[in-house]
Structure 1
Amino acid sequence: MEQVIYCKVKVKKNHGLPPKIDSAEEDGLTSLYADIRTGASQCPLPVDDQVPVYHHIDNEKCRSLDRHLLNLHQELCLNKTDGSLGCHLCPLKWLLQGDDCYYYSDVTSRTWNQSQAHCRMMGADLLGIKDQEQQEFIKRTLKQRGEETYWIGLYRDGDDWRWVDGEHFNSSLFQIETQSSGRCISMITGSGYYQRDCESVNKWICVKKAVRI
């Protein structure tokens, strides 16, 4: 699946209605105004793989949202060959893969709990790896960043390993290298997954759902 980075969108408030598009920079990354989410939550959801269409709804806010989403779609969405009309966007400094956005930190000064708290502040969680395709994407992107250690969202819960979303760890996906009595898991570029003391400091990876327009 192709990795796509979109441009930065400048918007301004519109007195409680969805934001007006001010301008777009082709060489930037994506930044979307939170009112789009707020407006969308008040309107019927679109059918999968379609651009939201609210013009048939007797609600001016929904019709206004529809117009702005269509404008965003025209500005940002690449031409697609699979026949679908919508696309997914990520915030500034995040990478898009499938339906998800990934954030790789650039500092090394956070514990596991601090890293998770930072992810939550951005509406995300520490990385949860749930399938082989996702794991391969993470490995490819980490190779481009040099040898580093990153916290992921896997921790010891009693006798089991659990992801931060509550799902149990599937040990068939990868093996955890036991090198300490730590209860949190880090991922080392080009190496593997290791137990670490949760109070040690590392970089971290966050993940959250992309904004769909």
Structure 2
Amino acid sequence: MAEEEVNYASVVFKTKKNPRSEVQKEEEETVYDEVKVRNEAPEQTADTSQFLPDKKADNNSCCCKVVVCSLVSLCVVLVIAIVLIYLFTLRDANQVNELKHNQTALLDENHNLTNLNNILRSENENLKRNVDNLTVKVGNLTRTYAVAESKIANLTAEKQNLTTRNQELETEKNNLTEQIKDLEMKNAVSVTQAQKLIDAYCPKENEGRQCKACETGWGVFQSSCYAYNNAEPSKQRTWEEAREDCKGKISDLVTVADEKEKNHVSGLSVPSQGLTEYWIGLRAEGGKWKWFDGTNLADSLWKQTPVDGHCAVSDQKEGWKSVSCGERKRWICEKAALSL
């Protein structure tokens, strides 16, 4: 039998992510060792191989088994890979569908948000316009308020003035009312006094009236009537009191215009009961001698240093004297004579 050289190619099967059993690992290691031994001893004689015919057959059978097992494992691996790929693909498809759904929802939401944003922008523009309009209105109202406030202040001041004026008018009204009452009373008194004056100046005589220049008890000189009051010491009066008595007789204390009248007044200063001094209407005021109506005394009538608080008296013998206005004296009254 001819000598044959048999070389076996070493075949290594690798499986990815395919777990192998312990038996398969041992068989593969056995076959791998045998093949390696044969490759390492290619130059053995044919005679040696002749003695191992059964062993070759067993090796061939084992190789077939290994190949078959490897193919089966590979198929299993492929099936598992396909299943995994399918599962992953299915999961990815579901994820893609979910992402598409989410994308569609997001697009819808984005569209809604865009519309809402446009609406908000429009509303914002409207609000800005409204704010501008309100700002203008507020400015107008502020100016109107300032004007109104100024008017209110003016009206308040005017009201205050009117209130003050009303009070003044009310006071004037009360004063006028009092004056009217006084005038009414004075008119009534004046009528009575007028009647008395008529009776005094024109007394009834034999059912008729005979009028005189001065009433009874008064003496006439030039255009005036004079009456001297030679009151008793207990009834004498101060300068002011004497003047009040004259006023009650529609007259006043005597005044002197010239030397002739002065002499006439001196003649009326009749001494009685040792009393010779009579009040006349002259007193010291502001460092000057003045008549009760405010006119100054003529220097030609009397030169006497005025002393405030002093008044003048007429003495028939000694002429005029300066005495305190508070002393009590007799007095002389004067009033206009009736023109006939």
Task: Specify the TM-score bucket, using the shorter chain as the normaliser.
Answer: 0.5 to 0.7
Alpha-carbon distance in structure 1 between the residues aligned to 2:268 and 2:314: 13
Give the match for residue 338 of structure 2: 211
Does the 8 Å contact 1:177/1:194 carry over to 2? no
Which of 286, 292, 296 is the aligned partner of 1:168? 296
Alpha-carbon distance in structure 2 between the residues aligned to 1:142 and 1:195: 16
Alpha-carbon distance in structure 1 between the residues aligned to 2:317 and 2:216: 26
Alpha-carbon distance in structure 2 between the residues aligned to 1:102 and 1:119: 11
Long gaps (5+) in structure 1: 1-15, 20-30, 38-70, 77-87
AA at the equivalent of 1:156: A
Deviation at 1:139, TM superposition (A): 2.4
Deviation at 1:136, TM superposition (A): 1.8
Question: Counterparts in 2 of 1:108-123, with a 5 A limit?
Answer: 108=233, 109-123=236-250
**1:91 aligned onto 2:201:** no
**Structure holding more helix per residue:** 2
Q: 1:159 to 1:34 in 2, by over 3 A?
A: farther
**1:125 aligned onto 2:290:** no
Give the match for residue 183 of structure 1: 310
Flag the structure with more relative contact order, 1 or 2, with Cα contacts below 8 A and sequence separation at least 6: 1
Q: 1:93 to 1:34 in 2, by over 3 A?
A: closer
Alpha-carbon distance in structure 1 between the residues aligned to 2:241 and 2:309: 16
Q: Deviations over 1:47-87 (max 9, x none)?
A: xxxxxxxxxxxxxxxxxxxxxxxx64xx45xxxxxxxxxxx
Deviation at 1:132, TM superposition (A): 1.1
AA at the equivalent of 1:133: K
Aligned length: 139
Give the match for residue 33 of structure 1: 198
Q: Secondary structure at the match of 2:289?
A: strand
Alpha-carbon distance in structure 1 between the residues aligned to 2:326 and 2:283: 13
Alpha-carbon distance in structure 1 between the residues aligned to 2:261 and 2:313: 16
Q: Secondary structure at the match of 1:134?
A: helix
Does the 8 Å contact 2:270/2:276 carry over to 1? no
Alpha-carbon distance in structure 2 between the residues aligned to 1:118 and 1:101: 16
Q: Secondary structure at the match of 1:93?
A: coil
Instruction: Compare 146-155 and 96-105 and name the one that shifted more.
Output: 146-155
Give the match for residue 101 of structure 1: 225
Q: Secondary structure at the match of 1:115?
A: helix
Q: 1:104 to 1:131 in 2, by over 3 A?
A: same
**1:193 aligned onto 2:317:** no
AA at the equivalent of 2:261: Q
Give the alignment's TM-score, normalised by structure 2: 0.36
Deviation at 1:165, TM superposition (A): 1.9
Long gaps (5+) in structure 2: 1-191, 203-207
Q: 1:94 to 1:102 in 2, by over 3 A?
A: same
AA at the equivalent of 2:214: C
Deviation at 1:105, TM superposition (A): 0.2
**1:150 aligned onto 2:278:** yes
The RMSD of aligned alpha carbons is: 3.1
Alpha-carbon distance in structure 1 between the residues aligned to 2:200 and 2:278: 32
